[in-house]
Structure 1
Amino acid sequence: MSISLEKRWQIFVKEQVEQGRYKTEAEVVEDGLRLIAEREAKLAELRQSLEEALADPRRYTPEEVKAHLRQTAQRLVSDKI
């Protein structure tokens, strides 16, 4: 496969290799693709949760919603680390 990148991305990729963060340009691109795949998986999980919540006739108090959002945010932040 062959890809073309805008000049700014070419510079960025080369800098990552020159700084020793990656061994090859392909590794930089693969890491970027891995991050996109992880983000898409998290979005799919959130969409599924939303669909389940919308289908659930139960109602939640504002405090329950805030607690759930805090837990979800903490999990997402810890997943990034």
Structure 2
Amino acid sequence: MSDFKFEGTTRNGKLVQGVISANHYLQAKKRIRQFASKHRLKILHVKKRKTFLYKIQRNDEKPISGEQKAFSKEEGYL
């Protein structure tokens, strides 16, 4: 199963976000749509969690490579 992050707003304009697990994008979107209609939300974005590869090196040390799961590349830098 994959994780999908959604962002939306309430009728008052308050930002709402959450994470849902689903087998594929269409199933996630369907479940998010059902949740949104139940709670009267307007969905703005749906993003799938991806795996990002990285390589870092501090001073003269040996470089370290690895992977990190995140919803965006910028999120992986935090």
Q: How would you bin the TM-score normalised by the shorter chain?
A: under 0.3
More strand by share: 2
Higher relative contact order (CA 8 A, sep 6+): 2
More helix by share: 1
TM-score, normalization: structure 1? 0.26
Bigger-Rg structure (1/2): 1
